[in-house]
Structure 1
Amino acid sequence: MAEPRNRYSTVSLVLHWGIAALVLAQVCLITLHEGAPDGAPDPYIGWHKSVGLSILVLTLVRVGWRLMNPALPAPPGTPTWEKVAARTVHVLFYVLLIAMPMTGWLASSAGGREIEWFGLFPWPLLPVEGGREAARSLMGLHGLVMKGLYVLIALHVLAALKHQFLDRDNVLHRMIPIIPRRP
């Protein structure tokens, strides 16, 4: 009988940490964009859109990978409410990591603002009507999704720290293999 897996696959790790790094890059890019002087050239929003669309594609790949490679089971003795909470947070992560770039893409499309993916090729706009008013509403939704994503990130990090330092159950080792496995 095969020994049960005690960590996620390399593909899962690369997708998880790659998307996490891109989300952090988004925070930096939008902060730089918001701090740019009015009227000055602003390369940050173009990069922000490209990174956002990359997050969309990678999240769709991650969802597909996850469907083919289910999550590891919770450690023995994990209360049912924690299992339900973990599953809920993960599903909401996927929903928001798709909704976030989609609302940005829809807003750019509604406003007729072209998107160049890292300056390499034009990203197609979606067939959305409504002009600036629709774009403004969609950007409001984009901001709301961002706040939800921040809440999920905080919950996720706090849960990981709880598992590492209170439960001491090797859950963090599954996603950060350089952390030594506890006996």
Structure 2
Amino acid sequence: MAEPRNRYSVVSLILHWVIAVAVLAQILLVTAHEATEGPLSREFINLHKSVGLTILVLTLARIGWRLANPAIALPATTPRWQRVFARTTHVLFYVALIVMPLTGWLASSAGGRAIVWFGLFDWPLLPMSGGREAARGFMAVHGLVVKGLYVLIGLHVIGALKHQFIDRDNVLHRMIPLIPRRP
């Protein structure tokens, strides 16, 4: 009988960490946008849009990869409620990482604001109208999802630290190859 997998695939690791770094970049770009004015501020928001759409594409790729390569089971000692909580958190991450860029894209489209992906090409706007009022509505949803994402990130980090330092069950080793596996 084959031994169960104890580490995620290279593709899973790359997608996880690239998306995580991109989300952090998004936070920094919005912070820089809010701290500046004029052309520099606009450049930060343009980069924010490009990174957001990249997150959307990478998240869809990650979901596809995950469907073809299911997640590694949590240790048998993990209580059922924690398994359900972990799965729910991961599903909500995927929802947030799709809804956030979509609402940003919808807002840009409704407001007729061009999206130039990293200065390389025009990202197509969605065929819709509604002007500033519709754009504000989409941005309101965008902002709510951001707050939810902050909660999910906090829960995710707390869960990872719990597994590493309290449960000591090698769960964190599966996503961070540099952490040695415990016997």
If the TM-score is normalised by the length of the shorter chain, which range does it land in?
over 0.9
CA distance in 1, matches of 2:35, 2:127: 31
CA distance in 1, matches of 2:4, 2:120: 44
CA distance in 1, matches of 2:63, 2:153: 18
CA distance in 2, matches of 1:165, 1:113: 47
User: After the TM superposition, which residues 47-66 of structure 1 pair with which residues of structure 2 at under 5 Å, given as runs?
Assistant: 47-66=47-66
Q: Which residue of 1 aligns with 2:104?
A: 104
The reply on whether 1:21 has 2:30 as its aligned counterpart is no
Identity %: 72
The offset of 1:76, in angstroms, is 1.4
The offset of 1:128, in angstroms, is 1.7
Q: Which residue of 2 aligns with 1:178?
A: 178
The offset of 1:41, in angstroms, is 3.7
Q: Which residue of 1 aligns with 2:145?
A: 145
Q: Which residue identity does 2:49 align to in structure 1?
A: K
Flag structure 2 segments of 5+ consecutive residues without an equivalent: none
Calculate the TM-score normalised by the size of structure 1. 0.98
Q: How many residues align?
A: 182
User: After the TM superposition, which residues 1-183 of structure 1 pair with which residues of structure 2 at under 5 Å, given as runs?
Assistant: 1-37=1-37, 39-42=38-41, 43-183=43-183
The offset of 1:177, in angstroms, is 1.1
CA distance in 2, matches of 1:102, 1:41: 24
Q: Which residue identity does 1:30 align to in structure 2?
A: V
Q: Which residue identity does 2:145 align to in structure 1?
A: V
Q: Secondary structure at the match of 2:135?
A: helix
CA distance in 1, matches of 2:151, 2:103: 18
The offset of 1:40, in angstroms, is 4.4
Report Cα offsets for 1:50-87 as digits up to 9, x if no partner.
00000000000000000000000110111000000000
Q: Which residue identity does 2:120 align to in structure 1?
A: L
Report Cα offsets for 1:122-181 as digits up to 9, x if no partner.
000001221000001111111000000000000000000000000000000000011010
Calculate the TM-score normalised by the size of structure 2. 0.98
Q: Which residue identity does 2:91 align to in structure 1?
A: V
The offset of 1:3, in angstroms, is 1.5
CA distance in 1, matches of 2:40, 2:48: 14
Moved over 6 A (4+): none
Q: Which residue identity does 1:5 align to in structure 2?
A: R
Q: Which residue identity does 2:11 align to in structure 1?
A: V
CA distance in 1, matches of 2:157, 2:39: 37
CA 1:104–1:167 in structure 2 vs 1: closer, same or farther (change >3 Å)?
Answer: same
CA distance in 1, matches of 2:61, 2:39: 37
Q: Secondary structure at the match of 2:74?
A: coil
